[in-house]
Amino acid sequence: MFDVVIIGAGIVGCSAAYYLSQYDIRVCVLEAANDVSMGTTKANSAIVHAGYDPETGTLMAKHNVIGAALTKELCRKLDVPYKECGAMVIGFDETDLNTIQKLYDRGIRNGVEQLQILNREETLKLEPQLSRDVRGCLLIPTSAIIAPWELAMALMETAVRNGVQLKLNNRVEAISKKDGVFTVRTNADEYQAKYIINAAGVHSDKVHELIGEKEFTITTVKGEYYLLDKSESSRCQRTIFQCPSAVGKGVLVSPTVHGNLIVGPNAVDSDNVDTTYEGLQFVKKRAQRSIPFIAFGENIRNFAGLRAKNDRGDFIVEESRSVPDFFNIAGIMSPGLTSAPSLGLAAVDWLKGKQELVKKDSYCESRKKIRFNELSDEEKNELIKKDPRYGRIICRCMTVTEGEIVDAIHGVIPAVSIDGVKRRCTAGMGRCQGGFCGGKVAEILVRERGISPLEVLQDQEGTNILVKELKVK
Amino acid sequence: MTELICIGCPRGCHLKVDEENDYAVTGNNCNVGAEYGRNELINPTRTLTTTVRLTNSVHHSLPVKSAHPIPKKDLFKAMEELNGIEVPAPVKCGDVVYRNVADSGVDVIATRDLD
Amino acid sequence: MFDVIIIGGGPAGLAAARKCCEEGLEKILIIERDSQLGGILNQCIHTGFGVGIFHEELSGPEFAHKYIEMLKGTRVEVMLDTMVLEINKDKEVTIINHDGYQKLQTKAIILAMGCRERSRGAIATPGSRGAGVYTAGAAQRYINIDGYMVGKRVVILGSGDIGLIMARRMTLEGAKVLACVEINPYSGGLPRNIVQCLNDFDIPLYLSHTITKIEGENRVEKVTISKVDERFTPIPGTEIEFDCDTVLLSIGLVPENELSKVAGIQLDKRTKGPIVYENMETSIPGIFACGNVVHVHDLADNVAMEAERAAQGVSDYLKGCEREAEISLSTTSEIGYTVPQHIHLPLDKDRYDIFFRVRKVFGPAYILVKDQEGNQIARFSRQYIIPGTMEKITLPKVLLQKGKGNLTVSIEEK
């Protein structure tokens, strides 16, 4: 019997688990996939928005501004890559310049600091590779970039250290309530709890409707991206947004915390994450409007993510109207990543209204990670002396050692797939995209997990990379 | 007249083989081409390269080849025979690991030292 | 202090080491990332190696074996499982292995890091992202080294040599290779490989086609290919679907020059390798390069010969050969690049080999070399010149002496 079951281990579920883990209650997180952050969290623009964009007075605006500050603090505490690189919303004509003024005014109202409107020359001086057609920009110095899946991982790892039970490969199939106790049935097991927090992302409406009435509808909007090699990282220092217009929010170009350049997204109604020829062409053309000379030949990966759009136009952060003790955090589209910590705290606040929450005598709220590449020469040598596996580079593009890969496989939330290793220690994230190291990571997974090579997964269940052993009688 | 690309070496000469004239080959730059062109129309042969199961070793696969080309039509038969064998380590490059593959009279040899 | 450190123990590094040894260099070190020498040769179990160097047709492991045997008992030292993290113009080599992180000092360096495969991202192939999409080289490793099959029904994108070799290899191991799909109107591989890897097994080659969609949630289930126009844009209505579980990518190789970049070595945008002189010296004196790190070869034998030139270059460098000036080589647009890009003056060799690749298929044609004033100093006749095969011309010193200033290489159809 748990006090709280959180459904979904995306960035929102992980944030809620992190904050709840500081209290003396029993918390369980149910996740359908074989790892945390497998939905929207791992496939988005990875921007910590400052908060000038959402309409003043909305939940989006509130959680965005609070969440941005919390994210910064969490990344510091949890040793998660975070870079306040700043951002620009650039304009190409009078309409855009009016929009920029509106965004500036709204940003001020929302409490965003350091906003500035720059003219053409000032804009080009800061970002010389922008199109000569640029007329000016809104400068947002506090905008930042992060690795969303790493933050989700760090939050959940800390929560698990504090006693939260994470149940992966548990897809919720039915929910019932009797005598004030929920029973949640998954494909694997049954769990009981007094409270449910629904953070099921694009599935949150269906999860709610397993027990409640239809109160909102989630539709999914696909965004497709390019991720370019580090050789293209100098195209811009900041995240470059285009003005939102009637045809959409516009395609962004941004550095990433791992030193790449990300370009995207488009916005297409879709329920799958397949990239398309048309979608990628669209993104490319749009991005070239901002920065004409991006070398798309340096692309290393395309991906697509789904955003959970709801029919209310604002985040849904409330107790279910038809099911007491069931809290929905749903329809979390942009700026959802930024808002996540604040949404996690909102769940805590809601629970505080339900029962007394007492902080644990001691709990952990920070994390430290070995990133070999970032150590000094002396530290590297010391580490190798302690464990020679840190002296064996497996991923040469990102300089990741065998020691770090083994750490990932035996971590608090063990990596079970090649991509799981990648999300934890960046092996395979570089320009060869695992071409060289994929096989070696597979070998280490086989050795450390004691599995057959046939069981090695690329990512989620069912993505086995090898199909048959050769030369067996 | 049949046109072929010689596979005798990476140069890939464009050959013409005259069936009417005792398979005379033109377009070749060496004797390998003359021989290849003729053989290719009479009895095409290929060198088979594959792996066999290695035992007593941390390595699983031993690369091997047919010491000489074997009839092209027998490639799959040869594969089937080799798929069933196990070779114990250590093996030296050039060691014969299987004799008379697919009844071709050709032996299969290891192409690498493996302990 | 080493005389020379060779970075990479594949065909280029091995051949360079052997030649350095022959030249009498004392302190020679090969640094290899893997736990064995040979590099990618170890997984290239097919034959086709050695004709140029050893005058016999060898498999990749046999080719490596020959060199490894030759190095046994020599002065050449080898560090395995060791990664070079950085080199600089002062010829300090920063390495890491299980003994730790350290800097080695050497008088000369030979870069022999080879190349990597272009991945799916490089051509932005759209579709789902489950398992079943491999670069041909990665699949080759799983099959030939690890002994596991990566799929049963295969579509190969790109007609590079590794893809063609894998078409045959997977067919022999029982897979069905449904198609080899090439975006260019010509194949990127050697003609012999089209014959013995595709034609032998009735595998269709679709020229001017590309993959426009990959479907399947967890694993590839279906692939759609489309014909492309001359600007490589897919033509609607030309789609062909294949039910398959695997896509192999053989869409080109890229020289691995991260170390070179950090060291400040000038790279050629066309080859993505260092700009080199006839002795394989890079823009930094004393740092030489050879093999696929300079430009992508189709034959390991050519790599080995290039490595010998680099080793000779190191030997001359250590003896203190003086250089005064240089001749630069440029090309017209039908030629992709030349290696070397420069020739040192004074001319101290009897012959100069120039390598290049063309950008389209030529029938009977002349390769022309003209000097700065437009005077033709050499003409070479060819029956055909194709992008899949590296082309070579040899310029005798006497002809080079006739030319004035820099040279341009071009092609004229007969």
Establish if A462 belongs to a structural domain: no
The residue of chain B nearest to residue C382, with distances taken between CA atoms, is: B13
**Percentage of chain B lying above the pLDDT 90 cut:** 87
- In this structure, of A150-159, A365-374, C3-12, the range with the lowest mean pLDDT score is A365-374
A72 and A95 both lie in a single domain: no
Interface of C with A in 260-279 (CB under 8 A): none
Alpha-carbon gap: C26 to the closest alpha carbon of chain B (Å): 28
A463 within some domain: no
pLDDT of residue C252: 93
Q: Among B39-53, C12-26, C163-177, C321-335, which stretch is predicted with the lowest mean pLDDT?
A: C321-335
| Residue contact B52–A473, C-beta within 8 A | no
User: Does A415 contact chain C (CB < 8 Å)?
Assistant: no
Contact state of C147 with B51 under an 8 Å Cβ cutoff: yes
Distance of CA A59 to the CA centre of its chain: 20
pLDDT of B8: 84
Dist. CA A425–CA A447, nearest whole Å: 18
Element (H, E) at C335: strand C335-339
Average pLDDT over residues B48-70: 96
Which pLDDT band, with edges at 50, 70 and 90, does A178 fall under?
very high
From the list A385, A433, A468, which residue is nearest C149 (CB)?
Answer: A468
Q: Looking at the structure, do residues A209 and A232 belong to the same domain, yes or no?
A: no
- Asked whether residue A98 falls in the same domain as residue A188, the answer is no
Which partners does chain B have (≥3 C-beta pairs < 8 Å)? A, C
Determine, yes or no, domain membership for A461.
Answer: no
Contacts of C147 in chain B (CB under 8 A): 51, 53, 60-61
Q: Residue A337 CB: number of other CB atoms within 10 A?
A: 27
Reported as a pLDDT band with limits 50, 70 and 90, residue A436 is: confident
B interface mutation test: which of A443, A471, A473 has the most B CBs within 10 A?
A471
Contacts of C42 in chain B (CB under 8 A): 112
Q: Say yes or no: A110 and A188 in one domain.
A: no
Domain of residue A104, residue span: 87-141+219-309
**Residue A346 and residue A406 share a domain:** no
Contact (CB<8Å) A275/C127: yes
Which residues of chain A does C10 touch, with a Cβ-Cβ cutoff of 8 Å?
A: none
Write out pLDDT tens, residues C362-397: 999 999 999 999 999 999 999 889 998 899 999 999
Q: Pairing relation of β-strands C2-7 and C28-31?
A: parallel
Select which of A49, A63, A203, A208 is catalytic: A49
How crowded is residue C400: how many other Cβ atoms within 10 Å of its Cβ? 20
pLDDT of residue A392: 95
Task: Compute the mean pLDDT over every residue in chain C, rounded to the nearest whole number.
Answer: 95
Q: Are residues A151 and A69 in the same domain?
A: yes
Q: Is A63 a catalytic residue?
A: no
Residue A464 lies in a domain: no
Looking at the structure, tell me whether residues A1 and A116 fall in a common domain: no
Give the model's pLDDT for residue A248.
Answer: 66
A435·C33 Cβ contact <8 A? no
Q: What is the 3-state secondary structure (H, E, C) of chain A?
A: CEEEEEECCCHHHHHHHHHHCCECCCEEEECCCCCCCCCHHHCCCCEECCCCCCCCCCHHHHHHHHHHHHHHHHHHHHCCCEECCCEEEEECCHHHHHHHHHHHHHHHHHCCCCCEEEEHHHHHHHCCCCCCCCCEEEEECCCEEECHHHHHHHHHHHHHHCCCEEECCCCEEEEEEECCEEEEEECCCEEEEEEEEECCHHHHHHHHHCCCCCCCCEEEEEEEEEEECHHHHHHCCCEEEECCECCECCCEEEECCCCCEEEECCCEECCCCCECHHHHHHHHHHHHHHCCCCCHHHEEEEEEEEEEEECCCCCEEEECCCCCCEEEEECCCCCHHHHHHHHHHHHHHHHHCCCCCCECCCCCCCCCCCCHHHCCHHHHHHHHHHCHHHHCEEECCCCEEHHHHHHHHCCCCCCCEHHHHHHHHCCCCCCCCCCCCHHHHHHHHHHHHCCCHHHCECCCCCCECCCEECCCC
Percent of chain A with pLDDT over 70: 99
Strand pairing of A316-319 and A326-330? antiparallel
> Would the pLDDT of C166 be above 70?
yes
CA nearest to C135 within chain A? A435
* Amino acid in position A311: D
**What does residue A86 show for φ and ψ, rounded to 5 degrees?**
80, 170
Same domain, A379 and A440: yes
The reported pLDDT for the residue numbered B12 is 85
Question: Best mutation site among B83, B98, B108 for testing chain A: the one with the most A CBs within 10 Å?
Answer: B83
How many separate domains does chain A show?
A: 3
* Mean pLDDT to the nearest integer, B78-102: 97
Give partners of A (≥3 CB pairs < 8 A): B, C
Which CATH class name applies to C119-251? alpha beta
My answer on whether A225 and A359 are in the same domain is no
In chain C, CATH 3.50.50.60 sits at 1-115+253-321, 119-251
All residues of chain B having their beta carbon less than 8 Å from the beta carbon of residue C64 are 112
Tell me the nearest-neighbour CA distance from C383 into chain A, angstroms: 33
| Whole-angstrom distance, CA of residue A286 vs CA of residue A306 | 20
Rounded average pLDDT over A60-82: 97
Give domain C1-115+253-321's CATH architecture. Answer: 3-Layer(bba) Sandwich (3.50)
In a domain, A191, yes or no: yes
A458, C146: Cβ pair inside 8 Å?
Answer: no
Q: Measured between CB atoms, which of B47, B64, B93 is closest to C65?
A: B93
Specify the CATH number for the domain of residue A48. Answer: 3.50.50.60
Question: Is the Cβ pair A273, C33 closer than 8 Å?
Answer: no
Question: Nearest Cβ partner of B113 from C46, C47, C65?
Answer: C65
Task: Give the architecture-level CATH label for domain B49-110.
Answer: Roll (3.10)
Q: What are phi and psi of C357, to 5 degrees?
A: -125, 145
CB-CB under 8 Å, C101 with A380 = yes
| pLDDT tens-digit series, residues C102-146 | 999 999 999 999 999 999 999 999 999 999 999 999 999 999 999
Residue C13 structure tokens = 């590094």
Which amino acid makes up residue C265?
Answer: I
Answer yes or no: do C173 and B4 touch at CB < 8 A: no
**Interface mutation vs chain C, best among A275, A382, A402, most C CBs within 10 Å:** A275
- Render pLDDT for A225-246 as a digit per residue (tens, 0 to 9): 999 999 999 999 999 999 987 6
Tell me the CATH architecture of domain C324-414: Sandwich (2.60)
**Looking at residue A108, which CATH number applies to its domain?**
3.30.9.10
Nearest residue to C409 (alpha-carbon basis) of C302, C303, C306, C336: C336
Between chains, do A468 and C83 touch, taking CB under 8 Å as contact?
A: no
Contacts of C98 by beta carbon, 8 Å cutoff, 6+ apart: A384, A388, A389, A391, A392, C81
* Contacts for C60 with CB less than 8 Å, ≥ 6 apart: C38, C40, C41, C42, C43, C44, C45, C46, C49, C300
A270 with A239, same domain?
A: yes
Instruction: Name the segment(s) of chain B with CATH classification 3.10.530.10.
Output: 49-110
Tell me the residues of chain A between 416 and 435 that have a Cβ less than 8 Å away from chain C: 431-435
